Structure 1
């Protein structure tokens, strides 16, 4: 491997490491400050509710029709086979809750490959299996209904829409108990630097509170101006 790709890989890995040291709230605040979308509403941790950070490997699902024939393979399998440590599988299920867009066998494969976690915009099933596997799984809800005959994979590793937030393969993903946030790869450095500055300001506020400063003073003078640049 030449120096160029090696350097690019190191930079991408360092971006994920920096993201993992933050939380979803600081990253969301950074996106707000920069006027960028990214925070997704309505997704919650259903299994292994711990913070995850990584690069998006996307899957686009659709209901079968004359216009959408599907890929011919089981949904999600290509993404699982391609993904590994540092990756988060992101399933664009269109917010559907009448059938699952992810299930237990897929979770087993994702866990085997060291995937950081899975984000599904819609329902998933076999949540107990994901919990037993200790695989972080963020989704709209759990449902027992199979995807068979109801949902197919339209494409994978393509730009997708997650609750009106555009997500491209390789974009950064962070998820924790507060929710799921995506960072466009093109803005990664700016967003990470801004989020790190915000997190530092928050730590300073906490220290002032622990030192005995009045809450009203700390919150009024620091919190409202936290996103100022």
Structure 2
């Protein structure tokens, strides 16, 4: 089912929050969904590597890079690490790089833009914090659903298997 979000919005209108943020799709895996793991960092992806080195089964990493597109918070090496550790997807409120490679990988990836410049490594950032992006609160351990239509959030897991239509 490629157009998952319209069906989820119709079925669970009272349970979802829409994230009104225009992000581009860079990964070849869509739709994707899972429990949210949050990270806030600015032009430093040291903690991104640390998190993606852990078991990401059923999880999506949401990185708040403060909307900066001057440094890439995700590239091909980190994406391969995410796949190796079973992450469902990565959403970046900031920039990524290696976009041609990311487009070939079985991982959901959304970001504001691409930038070829790597980040500094200062081991700075905050993990497992509430993020505020586009006037929307993103809570760790909530659930996120993403496809080409956008992103929705829910405090509980939505039953994707209950949707029968092929869109």
Say yes or no: TM over 0.5. yes
Flag the structure with more relative contact order, 1 or 2, with Cα contacts below 8 A and sequence separation at least 6.
2
Computed over aligned residues only, the root mean square deviation of the Cα atoms, in angstroms, reads 3.2
How many pairs does the alignment contain? Answer: 166
Q: Where does residue 144 of structure 1 map in the other structure?
A: 116
TM-score by length of 1: 0.61
With the length of structure 2 as denominator, give the TM-score of the two structures: 0.80
In 2, Cα distance between the equivalents of 1:35 and 1:170?
A: 15
> Over alpha carbons, which structure has the higher Rg?
1
Answer 1 or 2: which has greater helix percent: 1
Q: Is the 8 A contact 2:41 2:63 kept in 1?
A: yes
Q: Is the 8 Å Cα contact of residues 5 and 152 (structure 2) preserved in structure 1?
A: yes
Aligned to 2:42: 62
Structure 2 Cα separation of the partners of residues 42 and 56 of structure 1: 19
> Runs of 5+ in structure 1 lacking a partner?
1-19, 64-69, 207-229
**Closer, same or farther: CA 35–135 of 1 in aligned 2, 3 Å:** closer
**CA distance 1:29–1:91, shift in 2 (3 Å):** farther
Structure 2 residues without counterparts, runs of 5 or longer: none
The structural deviation recorded for 1:35 is 8.4
> Which residue of 2 is the match for residue 169 of structure 1?
140
If each structure's strand is expressed as a fraction of its own residues, which one has the higher value?
A: 2
